Structure 1
Amino acid sequence: MSAPTDRLRPYRSVLYLPASRERALEKAAGLAADAIIFDLEDAVAVEEKARARELLRRTLAERGYGARARIVRVNGLDTDWGEADLAAFRDADVEAILVPKVSAPEDLDAVARLVPRIPLWAMMETARGILAAAAIAAHPRLAGMVMGTNDLAREIGGRFRPDRLPMQAALGLCLLAARAHGRVIVDGVYNAFRDAEGLRAECEQGRDMGFDGKTLIHPDQIATANAVFAPSAAEIDLARRQIDAFEAARREGQGVAVVDGRIVENLHVEIARQTLARAEAIARMAQ
């Protein structure tokens, strides 16, 4: 049975949060992020792993996070902490377990056996994983993919560029794989969290490519990601006018309409309806 994937649920802003920081876990309940990745892996020091696991288990059981999607990034099964992480959260009330460094579908098989109920997400951060993106996306338990651009850049030896040219092949392959199988996919982090202009540019690039949202490392990045990955007022207005014009044309026995000098066919109306549905889903998040 395939993992459920709610493509209308917003994932504009997906904030990484160290599971070892109790104060941060408390504050997260008031942040405007669409989703939170409670991180037991890279953000937690070795000596803090066990304490962070217990703190997060207790916090998720006792504290509500509203409409925000709760995702737990566990340590890999090739570490000393992976199995204990999965045992602690196998029945947790969360949207997904995020599996690090997924390089093949078999990596998801191993986790799925230990976590039989919760959907899985995959960190796409290795060269092998990128080359196997289509097979990973096809896994029946997978619901989402996260680009791990920092680890991937290190592995391939790529340099940082504002246009992310070294990342384009990996981003494109994973995006195509996710869309082919109806999975959520979110872009990698922007490390210079005080560079608002650079963040916006990278968010816009990711949005133009087709990503659902962006992973973030600081709460100050949330507003930018939410704005960029939401339909704009102009896009919502155009979508409504396209639907109205097409429906009027159909009533007159015509198969196409014209809006702002451009042809509107069934395909454009479908996109317009998706735009309005996405805007409505985002509005519900704010209620």
Structure 2
Amino acid sequence: MNPYFRPRRSMLYVPGCAPRYLNKARTLRVDSVILDLGDPILVEAKEQSRKNVVEAVLAGGYGRREVVVRVNDLESPWGRDDVKAVARCGAEAVLFPNIESKADVQTALTALDAAGGSHLPIMVMVESPIAVLRAEEIASASDRIACIVMATSDLLNQLHGRRTPDRIAVVHSLGRVLLAGRAYDRAVVDGISTDLKDMQAFEFGCRLARDLGFDGKSLVHPFQLPYCNDAFTPKAHDLAAANEVIEALEHANREGRGTVVVNGRLVEGHHVKASKRMLALADMIEKLEAGQ
């Protein structure tokens, strides 16, 4: 199993320019907080935001939540200074935007290592058509990639697509990146919803991403959290079914059979593997929420 495997049902972007939001994130039922230094931060607030984020991470208090810092593009005036500032402050991963190739991944790792962050995994954002087309190249670039984060808002604009409830404009891209991520055992998280009023569409988007196979969804406002967490949390009946699958195939194996029928469905070894992953995830979720 991927060494960076953990619950990422919800990954909340928290703007580094607002200390009250950095503090509020310590109290929210969220799996990962992405302390954000990137595009949403005004130019005149970049350096103060960096200072705020470093101080917030050093102060701690985020419990079992995964603490990630999104830095600016390395080609920007702030990106490399961001990396230098956050590499050893206690963040659990650094999220790099605008990753479009294996070379971009290696450049990010080199910058992080030079800043003293060779112990840290990275996360990469896929946000352009060329990045989607090179998804396999990106996913295979390093075993230090803890998670691939879709930036579907940026992608949709570059595709000249329209925002619809069924998300038809980005479904192909979502599937392509997910396929690449799973081929190399990477976590993959869906992008944000920019419509903060249409919660029905947001909930549908969460369940679509879950059914496709995503690990979770990134989001921009705390009131989206309950929908997100609920969609990606295994339910009691899912866990009961998983245990039934494991027990049934183990019993069949003891009798010399490699398959078994459970509730009308053929069960093989790969179903057991998936069931054990679900049970492990559920256990992690329970511990995470207990620690929040």
Q: Same fold (TM over 0.5)?
A: yes
- Counterpart of 2:156 in 1: which secondary structure? helix
Structure 2 residue aligned with 1:263, among 263, 266, 284? 266
In 2, Cα distance between equivalents of 1:221 and 1:66: 20
Cα offset for 1:7? 5.3
Equivalences, count: 284
TM-score with structure 1 setting the length = 0.95
The aligned counterpart of 1:128 is 130
The aligned counterpart of 2:189 is 186
TM-score with structure 2 setting the length = 0.93
Can you give the 5+ residue segments of structure 1 that lack an aligned partner in the other structure?
Answer: none
Output the amino acid matched with 1:127: P
C-alpha contact (below 8 Å) 2:12/2:34 kept by paired residues: yes
In 1, Cα distance between equivalents of 2:189 and 2:261: 34
Cα offset for 1:214? 0.1
The aligned counterpart of 2:82 is 85
What is the CA RMSD across the aligned residues, in angstroms?
Answer: 1.5
C-alpha contact (below 8 Å) 1:8/1:277 kept by paired residues: no
**1:185-242 deviation per Cα after TM superposition (whole angstroms, max 9, x unaligned):** 1001112223222111111100011100000111111111111111122211111111
The aligned counterpart of 1:42 is 39
In 2, Cα distance between equivalents of 1:112 and 1:274: 29
In 1, Cα distance between equivalents of 2:104 and 2:80: 13
Is residue 222 of structure 1 aligned with residue 225 of structure 2? Answer: yes
Is residue 210 of structure 1 aligned with residue 213 of structure 2? Answer: yes
The aligned counterpart of 2:16 is 19
**1:58-110 deviation per Cα after TM superposition (whole angstroms, max 9, x unaligned):** 11111221111111110011211111101101222122111111111212222
In 2, Cα distance between equivalents of 1:157 and 1:265: 43
The aligned counterpart of 1:175 is 178
Output the amino acid matched with 1:81: W
In 2, Cα distance between equivalents of 1:257 and 1:155: 48
Is residue 66 of structure 1 aligned with residue 68 of structure 2? Answer: no
Output the amino acid matched with 1:131: L
Name the % identity.
Answer: 38
In 1, Cα distance between equivalents of 2:156 and 2:26: 32
The aligned counterpart of 2:116 is none
Cα offset for 1:263? 1.9
The aligned counterpart of 1:199 is 202
Can you give the 5+ residue segments of structure 2 that lack an aligned partner in the other structure?
Answer: 114-118
Structure 1 consecutive aligned stretches of length 4 or more whose deviation exceeds 3 Å:
4-8
C-alpha contact (below 8 Å) 2:101/2:137 kept by paired residues: yes
Cα offset for 1:10? 0.2
Structure 2 residue aligned with 1:142, among 141, 145, 148? 145
In 1, Cα distance between equivalents of 2:267 and 2:130: 42
